[in-house]
Chains A and B, each alone.
Chain A
Amino acid sequence: MIKRLFVPTRLDEIPIGTRVIAYGLLGLWTLVVLFPLYWMAITSFKLPIDVANGPAYVPFVDFKPSLDAWHYIFVDLGPDTYRPYMNSLVIATLSTVAAVFLGSMAAYALARIEYKPPVAAVGLAVLMLALVVAAVGWGGVDLRIAVAVCGALFFLLLRPIVRRARRHLANDDIIFWMISQRILPPVVTVIPIYLTFKSAGLLDTRTALIITYATANLPIVVWLMFDFFASVPKEIEESAQIDGATRFAILFGIVVPLVAPGIVATGLLVLILSWNEYLFALFLSTANAQTLPLLVAAQNATRGPQWWNMSVLILIMILPVMLLTLTLQRFIVKGILVGAVKG
């Protein structure tokens, strides 16, 4: 009898039993998604006493909403809230622009130009890097001197090596190398980066984070934009070349407008990643360049159980991302899919 609930009665129609279960499960997950967000939203309007008295679920019914927490965060803590907010805004935006700009250029080049770096040259570069590290670590040589000397050595030895080189890498290898950088856990690179910025006097500055985020996100930009560029028909560019346009003019004037949706999608993705980034900020910033994730985490330590204040902080942190994403969500989905499906 129960089985009959699951047998379709008409064509094109899902049996009632299946429909009930499907809606039920989907509804359940909707609840799972929305409830925590709802809870946090109403908690930001609660007073400490509302929280301590046990869970209050509906505003105006279980408790009287108040703007106390909001006031505290924005007024009482004013500068301490605005500073991280501005930092996050500036850092995320600038690093995204840089990453998208440099990464798109590289992706375009990899899609259109054939590179053949000799394996020997790559080996030479890595060798020079190791030399710099050894010199600074063991020999106590100043970083700048070491870089200058090894850099000069590199260029000197480059010519003869390239001329005699036999094995070459191809574009695919370069792209693979860039993408494989994602596997590298940031925690492995963060300590040396910390030391580098420290010796350059750039700790706890926005600049440090901008450069770091831009670099960390370059592989993603290259990965995603490569497919977009590769799908632009070559004929358009070729006819522009015949007309005498420079490569720069072709890229920025003709190709970029064609892949604009891809750029928006990628930019959005990178923006969100930069906005939410935690690890590098944790190591590289303390007070001046504190970003929002750090602020929330730091508050967690001192104000842990102050749910009302924390809710406000988190809300103002996630609302911009949500609004931006919701208005442009079609682009993000395409961006993630292009990357994921291509693997």
Chain B
Amino acid sequence: MQTQASRSPQHANPAGQHSKSVSLRNVSKFFGDTRVLHDLSLDVRAGEFLVLLGESGCGKTTALRIVAGLESASEGSIYVGENDVSQQLPRDRDVAMVFQSYALYPHKTVFENIAYPLIVRKRAKAEIDAAVREVAASVHLEPQLDRYPRQLSGGQRQRVALARAIVRRPAAFLMDEPLSNLDAKLRGHMRAELKHMQHELGVTTIYVTHDQIEAMTLAHRVALIDKGVLQQLDAPARIYSDPANLFVAGFIGSPPMNFLRGTLANNRFESEGLAIAADVNHQGEAVLGVRAEDCALVAAGEGEFRGRIYSVELIGDHSLVTVNVGEQQVVVKVSNMFAGEIGTEVGLRANRERVYFFDQASGKRIR
């Protein structure tokens, strides 16, 4: 089976020699009585771009900070390469971090900001100078070297933060939602820049975000986390097309996947206004999931669903039609020429290969 199971990192630049794999093994974290991370295990390969994706408060930033050494794990251990770094101070772990707020030193120039990690490690002045200029060139910051952070734009500050992380040639980059403080247009541009840079440098990267678009576009693999529990660890394509549970299916994709409650019995899924063949062995309450682009509007009476048009929204290059099916709703992607009227009775046909079933109680995918 030809799969895109994982985009294996092919790098242009063997500076990726420095980079090592990073592993979290059975990491749990308690804040007081609240358990924030549940037995999290992840292996990030050397040179890989792994995205920790999830909603606010799901624990992804905590996991990142534990890898960095800014927090300690209540249970479990962290490995960088072959070394167990769980008890080591942040500065001994050979990882660099880009903060959401960039954390630039306001009273130092851009040059001094980038040079700081090297100054602190007492490198020679000439060496520092060369390294900083090289890195500044690679992120197009050379004209700004003598300025102060307060004189820079948001995008420039972010590049300074990046440069400061790069200049150390660490074993891994840790990034905490670095694009979330930028406006939408700049964000798209910086995404491309980041991707290119990671490809060039080939450094292991762990990237935290709540934005699924960033995850899908940047990652070699995505780790989706909900309430401190790892939901699925896979390449973006497989997360999209082969979700492991209800949470993953509903989190990825825009518009979100349609969910319909019903009953599975005798290889059939039935609910009010809907009956569809189901090639799974399961009985009981279940949830059917199907994406808006995997449905098509047909005449009433045809297709597996039956309902009434509730609303039509013109998006631009397509339209979204919301259809009431029984007590539930389904959103369908249609051509932007669609001219149906609210209240019309219609039918829906779903692409059988793109229909998913989930157990209603546990949310797990029924295969």
Complex A–B touching at CB under 8 A: yes
Q: B71 at the A/B interface (Cβ < 8 Å)?
A: yes
Chain B contacts of A11 at CB under 8 A? 69, 71-72, 86-89
Q: A243 at the A/B interface (Cβ < 8 Å)?
A: no
B89 contacts A10, C-beta separation under 8 Å: no
B71 contacts A10, C-beta separation under 8 Å: no
- Which of the four size classes fits the interface of chain B? under 10
A9 to B89 Cα, complex, angstroms? 9
A10 to B69 Cα, complex, angstroms? 11
Chain A contacts of B87 at CB under 8 A? 9-11
A9 to B69 Cα, complex, angstroms? 13
8 A Cβ contacts from A139-158 to B: none
Q: A79 at the A/B interface (Cβ < 8 Å)?
A: no
A8 to B86 Cα, complex, angstroms? 13
Q: A114 at the A/B interface (Cβ < 8 Å)?
A: no
Chain B contacts of A12 at CB under 8 A? 71-72
Digit string of B89-112 for contact with A (CB within 8 Å is 1, else 0)?
Answer: 100000000000000000000000
Nearest CB of chain A from residue B80's CB, rounded to whole Å: 14
8 A Cβ contacts from A1-35 to B: 8-12
Chain A contacts of B69 at CB under 8 A? 11
B71 contacts A8, C-beta separation under 8 Å: no
Chain A contacts of B88 at CB under 8 A? 11
Q: Is the interface of B mostly helix, strand, loop or mixed?
A: loop
Cβ-closest chain B residue relative to A12 = B72
A98 to B71 Cα, complex, angstroms? 52
B72 contacts A8, C-beta separation under 8 Å: no
Nearest CB of chain B from residue A233's CB, rounded to whole Å: 25
A12 to B90 Cα, complex, angstroms? 11
Chain B contacts of A10 at CB under 8 A? 72, 87
Nearest CB of chain A from residue B29's CB, rounded to whole Å: 12
Chain A contacts of B71 at CB under 8 A? 11-12
A30 to B72 Cα, complex, angstroms? 32
Nearest CB of chain B from residue A278's CB, rounded to whole Å: 42
Chain A contacts of B86 at CB under 8 A? 11
Nearest CB of chain B from residue A11's CB, rounded to whole Å: 4
A12 to B71 Cα, complex, angstroms? 7
Cβ-closest chain B residue relative to A8 = B89
A11 to B85 Cα, complex, angstroms? 10
A10 to B71 Cα, complex, angstroms? 11
A119 to B175 Cα, complex, angstroms? 57
Cβ-closest chain A residue relative to B90 = A11
Nearest CB of chain A from residue B93's CB, rounded to whole Å: 11
A10 to B86 Cα, complex, angstroms? 9
Of A8, A10, A11, most B-chain CB atoms within 10 Å: A11
Chain B contacts of A9 at CB under 8 A? 87
Cβ-closest chain A residue relative to B88 = A11
Nearest CB of chain A from residue B310's CB, rounded to whole Å: 37
A311 to B161 Cα, complex, angstroms? 61
Nearest CB of chain B from residue A96's CB, rounded to whole Å: 41
A9 to B86 Cα, complex, angstroms? 12
Cβ-closest chain B residue relative to A13 = B72
A122 to B194 Cα, complex, angstroms? 61
A177 to B43 Cα, complex, angstroms? 65
Chain A contacts of B72 at CB under 8 A? 10-12
Nearest CB of chain B from residue A84's CB, rounded to whole Å: 52
Cβ-closest chain B residue relative to A10 = B87
Nearest CB of chain B from residue A296's CB, rounded to whole Å: 48
Nearest CB of chain A from residue B223's CB, rounded to whole Å: 23
Chain A contacts of B89 at CB under 8 A? 8, 11
8 A Cβ contacts from B64-92 to A: 69, 71-72, 86-89
A262 to B212 Cα, complex, angstroms? 44
A10 to B72 Cα, complex, angstroms? 9
Chain B contacts of A8 at CB under 8 A? 89
A12 to B87 Cα, complex, angstroms? 9
A10 to B74 Cα, complex, angstroms? 12
Cβ-closest chain A residue relative to B73 = A11
8 A Cβ contacts from B226-274 to A: none
Nearest CB of chain A from residue B75's CB, rounded to whole Å: 14
A11 to B88 Cα, complex, angstroms? 7
A12 to B65 Cα, complex, angstroms? 12
A248 to B72 Cα, complex, angstroms? 56
A8 to B89 Cα, complex, angstroms? 9
8 A Cβ contacts from B155-177 to A: none
Nearest CB of chain A from residue B81's CB, rounded to whole Å: 19
A8 to B71 Cα, complex, angstroms? 14
8 A Cβ contacts from A27-67 to B: none
A9 to B87 Cα, complex, angstroms? 8
Digit string of B40-71 for contact with A (CB within 8 Å is 1, else 0)?
Answer: 00000000000000000000000000000101
A74 to B88 Cα, complex, angstroms? 65
A10 to B85 Cα, complex, angstroms? 11
Can you list 13 pairs linking A and B with CB atoms under 8 Å apart? A8-B89, A9-B87, A10-B72, A10-B87, A11-B69, A11-B71, A11-B72, A11-B86, A11-B87, A11-B88, A11-B89, A12-B71, A12-B72
Question: What are the nearest 10 A-B pairs in CB distance?
Answer: A11-B72, A12-B72, A10-B87, A11-B87, A11-B69, A8-B89, A11-B89, A10-B72, A12-B71, A11-B88
Contacts A10-B87, A11-B86, A12-B72 aside, 8 further interface pairs with beta carbons under 8 A come to A8-B89, A9-B87, A10-B72, A11-B69, A11-B71, A11-B72, A11-B89, A12-B71
